[in-house]
Amino acid sequence: MKRIFITGGRRLSGEVHIRGAKNSVLPILAATVLHKGVSVVENCPALSDVETAAEILRCLGAKTERQGECLAVDASNLQSRPIPEPLMREMRSSVIFLGALLARFGEAELFYPGGCELGPRPIDLHLRALRELGAEITAEGGSIRAKARKLRGAEITLDLPSVGATENAMLAALGAEGVTRIRNAAREPEIADLQKFLRSLGAKVRGAGSSTVTVEGKTPLCDGIHRVMPDRIVAATYLAACAACGGEVRLMGAEKQHLTAVLAPLKEAGCEIAADQTGLIIRREGPLSAVRPIRTAVYPGFPTDAQALFMAALLKSRGATVFVENIFENRYRHVDELIRMGADIRVEGRVAVVYGTERLQAARVRCTDLRGGAALAIAALTAEGESVLEEIGHIERGYADLAGELAALGAEIRTEM
């Protein structure tokens, strides 16, 4: 079993290159299904989730070719086939193939998606949006069958700005006759990046980044090439690590405008933040202080994916910080593991209070999910002694080389079988 070993106590310094965003490249890979030709995806990170998406594409008959950080997908000879359940269960984003397959073949057969266990993660909004486009969908026994003799453009209003439901509706709408408007759409930067990719294929999509996305269906597509945006949550991870350990880190390629909601509490906690044409620089010399309540929200609010990371960063801050998790019902599973390291955290429902403590001790801990795993690594960097992180497969789903990159920043860290 692969594990990460971390001896805490070192400050971080140097630079880290922020790679392409997992939560952008996954819907983009699903979208390659739309085009009977070649899509080239640059800045495509080598993550286990990306490999799962490529495996799904190959199952459907696509050819994939990776050269460094570039993945080419040839979807000329795709077949309408069921996606195997084990692949669907690997990750949440597998469900985005539903909209893409419906647009391409007028039918799709797959299973309920897997992914991080963060409490209930229904797909009712996805299915409702696809039904509004004219799809007939049966979902029983864990499998989903969708059929549409003809998809028609529609006015879709999402009950809440779900990232996944917005992406699924955008892809399905490209196979519909006429215009679709998706209202109360998610505004995350990954939606705008998906729109950019679709436009590189010649698709007519606009409004991504706002609450209304408009799609003109049945536009002929062509071969396209797209460079994936930098991963703002990976950037938030290295910002939180530097805040926790002290030191100075340059995040090459990080996009400041995507990070405003996380930069504000970092400054409040005592970090200096600077930006230049290469990316972002964070410096922490003085003491780390607690901050005002952190409430997770849809973009441009504080990202739920950074909640665990900031909790870990503030474990040794001066004072108490309140966290309110508004997006997922059960996204504090990392707390019990942090408490093993001596953290002082109280949880009541969606509210958690972190009481800053002087010392943390090393421990053997288990990653509970992707961001929870990264949070354990951050905490271990500030603990006395050598910690052992187990179940690190969770981390590898979203970080190409967390241990290697932290080691390059001066951390005492290694991965061992």
Q: Which is nearer to ligand EPZ, 105 or 302 (CB)?
A: 302
Q: State the DSSP string of 120-167.
A: ----HHHHHHHHHTT-EEEEETTEEEEE-SS-B--EEE-SS--HHHHH
H helical segments located in 328-398: 335-340, 370-381, 393-396
- DSSP three-state, residue 16: strand
At residue 113's C-alpha, the angle toward residues 372 and 192, to 5°, is 75
Measured CA to CA, the distance from residue 393 to residue 328 in angstroms comes to 21
Q: Which is nearer to ligand EPZ, 77 or 330 (CB)?
A: 330
For residue 339, what are its two tokens?
């408490």
Q: Min. distance of Cβ 95 from ligand EPZ in angstroms?
A: 8
Measured CA to CA, the distance from residue 186 to residue 52 in angstroms comes to 24
Q: Min. distance of Cβ 228 from ligand EPZ in angstroms?
A: 13
Q: Which of 44, 59, 70, 116 is catalytic?
A: 116
Q: Min. distance of Cβ 190 from ligand EPZ in angstroms?
A: 6
Count of other CB atoms within 10 angstroms of residue 393: 13
Count of other CB atoms within 10 angstroms of residue 361: 12
Measured CA to CA, the distance from residue 167 to residue 267 in angstroms comes to 33
Give the residues lining the site for ligand EPZ (CB under 6 A): 22-23, 26, 92-93, 116, 120-126, 160, 162-165, 186, 233, 304-305, 327-328, 370-371, 398
Phi and psi at residue 366, to the nearest 5°: -115, 130
Q: Is there a catalytic annotation at residue 70?
A: no
Question: Is 309 within 8 Å of 374 (Cβ atoms)?
Answer: yes
Q: Which is nearer to ligand EPZ, 53 or 249 (CB)?
A: 53
Q: Which is nearer to ligand EPZ, 171 or 362 (CB)?
A: 171
Q: Min. distance of Cβ 233 from ligand EPZ in angstroms?
A: 6
Question: Is 398 within 8 Å of 22 (Cβ atoms)?
Answer: yes
For residue 130, what are its two tokens?
């696809």
Q: Min. distance of Cβ 166 from ligand EPZ in angstroms?
A: 8
Q: Min. distance of Cβ 383 from ligand EPZ in angstroms?
A: 23
Q: Which is nearer to ligand EPZ, 186 or 363 (CB)?
A: 186
Instruction: Give CA separation, 312 vs 269, 278, 349, in Å.
Output: 13, 27, 19
In this structure, what DSSP letter does residue 234 have? H
Q: Min. distance of Cβ 85 from ligand EPZ in angstroms?
A: 18
Q: Which is nearer to ligand EPZ, 93 or 382 (CB)?
A: 93
Q: How big is the chain by its Cα radius of gyration, in Å? A: 21
The helix (H) or strand (E) run that includes residue 266 is helix 260-268
Residues with catalytic roles:
116
